[in-house]
C-alpha cells in the first residue's frame, strides 16, 4: 500500500534526496485498532539508488504516472501481496533456497543487518515498528562471527583496568 508520495527528505541526510524517510501508513494493527503509522529512516545508501532508479526510470515505462501506488502492474493496478509471494517463491525455487523462505523473512534480514551494523537496539525496534524489544529480538538472528566479536568486546571492557588505576603514560623528554 505504499505510494510514491510516502517518501520524503530526511533533513539529517540530505544526500539521500527525496528517499531519506518513508512514511508507513498501513503498518500492522493491534487487535481492534487502526493500522499503525510510523516513519522508517533510510539507512542503507544502496537502497536509495535502487528505489530512485525504479521510480525515475522503470515505473514511468508502465505508463501510469498518475497512479499514486509505488508498485504498479502493467495494467495500472497495485501489485498484490499474493503476486509478490508467488514471484518470490518462483525465484526462491529457481535458486534452490529452502521452501519455508517467504518475503516476510526480508524483515528479519533487515533487523539482523541493522543489529550487526551496530545500530542501537531501540532504533532497530522503532524501524520495525515494534512496541516491545522482545518482538524485535525474535526478528534478529546474528551470525556466530558477530556474537564472538561482541563477546570479545564485552570481555575486553570487563577486564580492562579503569583509567584512574592505569599508570600515566610517559613521554621521552617530558619533565618529572
Taking only the tens place, the pLDDT of each residue in 85-137 is: 999 999 999 999 999 999 999 999 999 999 989 899 999 999 999 999 999 98
Q: Cβ contacts of residue 36 below 8 Å, gap of 6+?
A: 27, 28, 29, 30, 129
Read off the C-alpha cell for 137: 529480538
> Percent of the chain beyond pLDDT 70?
89
- List the chain domain ranges: 1-70, 101-160
Q: Which of 67, 56, 65 is nearest to 17 (CA)?
A: 56
pLDDT of amino acid 163: 61
- Order of all β-strands in the sheet with 36-41: 7-8, 21-27, 36-41
Read off the C-alpha cell for 118: 551496530
Say how far apart CA 10 and CA 2 lie, in whole Å: 18
CA 43 to chain centre: 7
CB atoms within 10 A of CB 7: 22
Amino acid at each position: 500500500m505504499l505510494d510514491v508520495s510516502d517518501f520524503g527528505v530526511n533533513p539529517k541526510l540530505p544526500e539521500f534526496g527525496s528517499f531519506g524517510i518513508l512514511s508507513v501508513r498501513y503498518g500492522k494493527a493491534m487487535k481492534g485498532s487502526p493500522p499503525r503509522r510510523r516513519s522508517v529512516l533510510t539507512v542503507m545508501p544502496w537502497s536509495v539508488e535502487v528505489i530512485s532508479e525504479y521510480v525515475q526510470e522503470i515505473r514511468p515505462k508502465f505508463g501510469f504516472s498518475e497512479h499514486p501506488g509505488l508498485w504498479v502492474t502493467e495494467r495500472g493496478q497495485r501489485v498484490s501481496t499474493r503476486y509478490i509471494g508467488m514471484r518470490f517463491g518462483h525465484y526462491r525455487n529457481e535458486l534452490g533456497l529452502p521452501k519455508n523462505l517467504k518475503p516476510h523473512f526480508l524483515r528479519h534480514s533487515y533487523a539482523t543487518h541493522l543489529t550487526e551494523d551496530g545500530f542501537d537496539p531501540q532504533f532497530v525496534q522503532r524501524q520495525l515498528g515494534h512496541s516491545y524489544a522482545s518482538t524485535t529480538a525474535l526478528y534478529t538472528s546474528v551470525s556466530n562471527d558477530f556474537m564472538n566479536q561482541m563477546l570479545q568486546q564485552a570481555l575486553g571492557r570487563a577486564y580492562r583496568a579503569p583509567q584512574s588505576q592505569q599508570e600515566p603514560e610517559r613521554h621521552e623528554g617530558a619533565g618529572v
